[in-house]
Structure 1
Amino acid sequence: MIDNSSAQNSSEENLALSPPLEPRKRSRKEFYSIWGSSIALTIVGFTIAWLFVEPAPGNHLKIAAGPSDGNYYATAKKYAAVFQGAGINLEIVETAGTIENYRLLQEDNDINLAIVQGGAVPETLEKTSLEAIASLNFEPLWIFRQAESEITEIRQLKGKRISIGLSDSGTEALMLRLLEINGLIAPVEESQASTDSTPEEAIELFRESSATAIAKLRAGERDAVCMVRSASNPVIRQLFETPELSAMPFPLNKTYRLLFPALSDIQLQEGILDLKNHQPAQNLKLIAPAANLVCTPELHDAFVPLLLKAATLTSNEGNLIVPSREFPSLGYIEFEPHAGAVDYFQSGESFLYRYLPFWLASFLNRMKIMAVPLLTLAIPLFKMAPPAYRWRIRSRIYRWYRLLREIDQENLRDQTTVNQQRYLEKLDRIACELSEVDVPLSYMEEFYNLHLHIDLIRRRVLGVTDLSQNSGTNS
C-alpha cells in the first residue's frame, strides 16, 4: 500500500522534472489555432482592401490655362501659390485658349486639368471623358469699337473687320457661334463643303492677340475687337479709360441666354468700374460664359479638395458682377461633376484637409477604405475569439463528463464484479489521459472539479461512501 505522503512527494517531484517550456508550446498552439485564424482572415481582408487604395498623389501637376496676359493664366498662378504651400508644383501650361485646352486634355497624358470657357465645348468631344470640378467666375464677352461707331448690336457687324481672338481660343469659338446664329457667317459644315462664295465674305475675321487687336482698333484697321475677360481685368479698365473706344451693349442678352444655356445675362452697373470718371456711363447689358475648372478621370482625387480650396480663396470674394460667395459653385457647369467636388460643396472642406498637412490628410483619406475590413472582419473576429477560446479550453474538460455519466449510469444498471472492474479500468484511463491535458491557470477550477468527480464516480462504483475508505482502496 502506497502512503499518501509518498504519492504527494512523487507528484511534486514529477512536476519539478517536467520541461518548463511544454506549457508554453501548448499555449502557443492554442494561440495559433484560435487567434491565428482570426488574424489570418483579417490580414487577407486588409490585403484585398489595399488593392483598392489609390496610389499616393505625385508632387507635380500640370494645368492648361491660356495666354499669359489672360485671366485663366492669372488664376492658375494663384492656384500654383496654394499648391506650393502644400508642397506640390503646379506647372502652368500657356495655351491659345479654351479649344487648345480641350485638345490637350484629350491628347496629352501629362495634362489632366484645365480652365475652360463655358459654351465652347468642341462638338467632337465626348462629354463623358471629362469631369467638372467647379465654375469659377462670370467672364463677359466684350466687343469694343470706335466711340463714334454706330454698331449697337451683333447684326450691325456685317461687312466689318472684326478681331475674334486667337485661333483655338474660347473667344473665337463663342464669336463664331454668335455670328452664325445672326446669319453673318455660314455654318461650319456648309463653308467647308462648298468652295463658292459664302456670307463670310461680307465680314472679315481676324485671329490675333488682344494686344495686337487693340492697337489696330486704335489705328482704325479694325472695326471691332472681341474678347472674353473679367470685368476687373486691367485691359478692360484701360479700354474704358480710352475716350476714343467704347463697349458695345447686348440689348438681347436675355435672348442669347435662352438660346445658349452656357451663357448668362448680366448687367454692368453704371459707374462700377470707375466711379470718379463715371465708367461705364450707363448700365451695360452683357452676356457672359462662366469659366470652368475641368479635369480628366485620371486626375488624382486628393487634388480636388486642394483645387477647391484655391478656387474658394480666389473666387469667393466676388467681383464687379456677382456678389461674394457666388463662386466657386457647381452651377453653370457643362460636364458631370467630380464626386470629390460634390462632397466638398455638400459638406465643406473635410476635417483632415482643414487641420492636417496635405500629404498626411491625403494618406488618411486614402486609407478610409481600410476601415471596411476593420469593421467587417477584425472587430467581429476578435470579439468571437475569446468565447471560442473559452469553449476550446473547457471542451478539453467537459468532453470527459459524458464518459463519466455513461459509467455512472451503467454502474447503476449493472453492479456485477466483472463490470465493476471494467468501470474502474475506464476511470483509470480517463485519469491517465486527463493528466496529459494542459489548461491555463484561469481554468484550473473546472480541471480539479473533474478530478473530484472522477473520484466520486470511482467511489460509487466501489460502493464506498467514506472518502478515507476510498483512499485506502486506491492505495
Structure 2
Amino acid sequence: MAVKAQNDHQPDTRKRDKRRRIFQSLWAQIAVVAPALILVIAGFVVAYQFVGPPPPDRIVMATGSESGAYHAYGKLYAERFREEGIELVLRSTAGSSENLSLLSDPDADVPVAFMQSGIGEPADHTDLKSLGSLYYEPLWVFVRSDGKPRRLTELSGLRIAVGAEGSGTRSVALALLADNGITDATASLAALDGVTAEAALQAGDIDAAIFVTSATSPRIRALLEAPGIALMNFERADAYVRRNDYLSKVLLPKGTVDLANNLPAEDTVLLAPTATVVFSPELHPALADLLLLTMRDTHRSGGLLEKPGSFPGGNFVTYPLAPVAQRFYDEGPPFLQRYLSFWAANLIDRLKILLLPLLTLLYPLFKILPPTYSWRMRSKVNRWYKELQALDDELRANSISRADATARLDEIEASVEKVSVPAGFAASAYTLRLHIDFLRRKVEEVTRDQDDAAMVG
C-alpha cells in the first residue's frame, strides 16, 4: 500500500515541478523583457507629447455678399467639408477688404477667407499666406455711351460707381482710376454695391459702373443687353499688367456670354484679378490640406475664361504661397490622402512622430534582447563554475578536508537543483551536474590517496 501511495504521489510531484519550471522560465523572460518594454513605453509617452492636436470640427470662412460668387463657392466648400464631418460656417461680408480685416483680427475667429488678388500689402500682413488662385475675376467697366470706351481716362468728370465700402471691387477700382488721374477731385465716385450700381446705371443715375465679378453673373448679361450701355475694351491692358502683377490680360471672345444674342458683340480685352484663398496662422494645417483638395475638385474644370486644369494654382497671388500649397501643386495631394479618408490620413500623419521611438528604441532592443536573454540563462548555470573551480583549487592544494569538501558540494548541488532554465539551455544545467559529480569523485580519490599514504607511513 505504501508503494502504491508513493507511486500515486509521483505524478503530482512531477506536475508541480513542471509548473515550477514553466513559471521560473516565464519569470526569467519577464525579467529581461520588462525593462525594455518600460523603456519603449516611456519613449512613446515622450514622443506623444509632440503629436499635434486634431483638427477642429468647426471652422469659419469669410466669403462676400450672399448674392456673390464667393458665397456661392463657399456653399460648395461647406458641402465637401460636411462630408468629412466638419462644419464650415460661411460669414458673409462686404467683400475682400473686410475679409482682410477679419483675417488680421485674432479675435474675429476667421482663419480663412476668399480674397481678390491685389487687396492689401503683404508687408503689412506678414503672417498671412495664400493657398492659391481659383479663377479669373474680370474687371468690367460699363459706361452710358453709344461709342466704344477704351480708356479709363474717358471717365473723368463722370459719376462712377466704384463698389461698396470694404469690397475688393472698390480697392482695385480706386487704384486703377488714380493711376489715370481720376479721383474724388476729378469725378464723382459713388460707393455702391453691385446690385445698386446696376440699377443706377440702367436708370441713368450714374454714368459708369465698375464691377469685379464672374462672366457668368446675371448682372453682366443684363448690362450687355442694355441699350445705350457699352463695355470698355482695355486697349492698354498690357501696360496695366506690367504695372500691376496681380492683374492678368484676358480675352472675352464675342458671343461668349450669349451665343444666340452674340454677347458681347465683339472680342473684348479685359483686366482680371483672381479669386484666391488666404489664411492666417490660426488655420489648422490639416484643414489647409482639405481646402486644397476642395479647391482642386471645385475649380479644375475651368470656366468661360479659364482652360480646364489651369486653376487652382500658385500664380497670380498677392500673399506668399504657403509651402503646403506649393507641394500640392508640384507633387499632388499627400500620399495618404490619395488612398484614405481625410480623418484616417490626418491621424496617421499626426502619429508618424511615434515612429521615432519605434526606430530608435524598439528595433535596437529587438536586436539586443535575444543575446541578453541567452546570456542571462547561461549565467544562471555558469556562476556555479566559480564555486567548483575554487573547490578544485583547494583540493589540489590539500587545504580542505573531505568532510568540508563534501559539504560544499552538497550545498552547490542543492542550489543547482533549484536552478530552472528553458529546455534550450538544459544541456548546460546537466553538464554542470556532471562536473559536480566529477569533483565529488575527485574528493573521494584524494581522500583515498591520503588514507593509503597514511597506512604506508
**TM-score between both structures, scaled by the size of structure 2:** 0.86
Q: Any idea what SS the aligned residue of 2:362 has? A: helix
2:117 aligned with 1:135: no
Q: Is residue 162–residue 209 contact of structure 2 (8 Å, CA) maintained in 1? A: yes
Moved more, 358-367 or 90-99: 358-367
Which residue does 1:448 correspond to in 2? 430
- Structure 1 residues 417 and 52 mapped into 2: Cα distance closer, same or farther (>3 Å)? closer
Name the CA distance, whole Å, in 2 between partners of 1:256 and 1:89. 40
**2:129 partner letter:** E
Which residue does 2:278 correspond to in 1? 294
Q: 2:249 aligns with which of 265, 276, 292?
A: 265
- Structure 1 residue 355, shift from structure 2 partner: 4.3
Q: Is residue 165–residue 208 contact of structure 1 (8 Å, CA) maintained in 2? A: yes
Q: Is residue 147–residue 243 contact of structure 1 (8 Å, CA) maintained in 2? A: no
Which residue does 2:366 correspond to in 1? 382
- Structure 1 residue 442, shift from structure 2 partner: 3.1
- Structure 1 residues 463 and 20 mapped into 2: Cα distance closer, same or farther (>3 Å)? closer
2:92 aligned with 1:94: yes
Name the CA distance, whole Å, in 2 between partners of 1:401 and 1:336. 75
User: Percent of counterpart pairs with the same letter?
Assistant: 36
Q: Any idea what SS the aligned residue of 1:202 has? A: coil
- Structure 1 residues 398 and 234 mapped into 2: Cα distance closer, same or farther (>3 Å)? farther
Moved more, 270-279 or 455-464: 455-464
Q: Is residue 119–residue 171 contact of structure 2 (8 Å, CA) maintained in 1? A: yes
Moved more, 136-145 or 418-427: 418-427
Which residues of structure 1 form unaligned runs of 5+? 1-7, 186-199, 465-475
Q: What does the per-residue CA deviation read over 1:403-430, in whole Å, with 9 as the maximum and x for residues that have no partner?
A: 444555665xx45374777665554443
Name the CA distance, whole Å, in 1 between partners of 2:397 and 2:19. 44
Name the CA distance, whole Å, in 2 between partners of 1:410 and 1:155. 119
Moved more, 313-322 or 233-242: 233-242
Q: Map of 1:70-149 to 2, 5 A cutoff? A: 70-107=68-105, 108-122=107-121, 125-127=124-126, 129-149=127-147
Moved more, 314-323 or 28-37: 28-37
- Structure 1 residue 329, shift from structure 2 partner: 1.3
Q: Any idea what SS the aligned residue of 2:113 has? A: strand
- Structure 1 residues 319 and 17 mapped into 2: Cα distance closer, same or farther (>3 Å)? closer
Which residue does 1:197 correspond to in 2? none
**1:174 partner letter:** V
Q: Is residue 394–residue 400 contact of structure 2 (8 Å, CA) maintained in 1? A: no
Q: Is residue 380–residue 419 contact of structure 2 (8 Å, CA) maintained in 1? A: yes
Name the CA distance, whole Å, in 2 between partners of 1:235 and 1:31. 80
Q: What does the per-residue CA deviation read over 1:302-342, in whole Å, with 9 as the maximum and x for residues that have no partner?
A: 22232222212221011122210011112222333334434
Q: Map of 1:304-453 to 2, 5 A cutoff? A: 304-350=288-334, 352-405=336-389, 407-408=391-392, 414-416=396-398, 418=400, 426-453=408-435
C-alpha RMSD of matched pairs (Å): 3.0
Q: Any idea what SS the aligned residue of 2:285 has? A: coil
**1:285 partner letter:** V
Q: Any idea what SS the aligned residue of 2:249 has? A: strand
Name the CA distance, whole Å, in 1 between partners of 2:399 and 2:348. 76
- Structure 1 residues 258 and 457 mapped into 2: Cα distance closer, same or farther (>3 Å)? farther
Q: Any idea what SS the aligned residue of 2:256 has? A: coil
Q: Any idea what SS the aligned residue of 2:143 has? A: strand
Name the CA distance, whole Å, in 2 between partners of 1:160 and 1:462. 131
Name the CA distance, whole Å, in 2 between partners of 1:362 and 1:13. 59
- Structure 1 residue 64, shift from structure 2 partner: 0.1
Q: Is residue 149–residue 230 contact of structure 2 (8 Å, CA) maintained in 1? A: no
- Structure 1 residue 398, shift from structure 2 partner: 2.1
Q: Map of 1:33-52 to 2, 5 A cutoff? A: 33-52=31-50
Which residue does 2:449 correspond to in 1? none
- Structure 1 residue 56, shift from structure 2 partner: 2.4
**1:382 partner letter:** F
Which residue does 1:472 correspond to in 2? none
**TM-score between both structures, scaled by the size of structure 1:** 0.83
**2:436 partner letter:** I
Q: Is residue 99–residue 122 contact of structure 1 (8 Å, CA) maintained in 2? A: no
Name the CA distance, whole Å, in 2 between partners of 1:40 and 1:338. 41
Q: What does the per-residue CA deviation read over 1:187-227, in whole Å, with 9 as the maximum and x for residues that have no partner?
A: xxxxxxxxxxxxx3211111111111111112222121111
Q: What does the per-residue CA deviation read over 1:17-65, in whole Å, with 9 as the maximum and x for residues that have no partner?
A: 9688755664564344321122212212221222222222232221100
Name the CA distance, whole Å, in 1 between partners of 2:348 and 2:218. 43
Name the CA distance, whole Å, in 1 between partners of 2:21 and 2:163. 86
Moved more, 134-143 or 376-385: 376-385
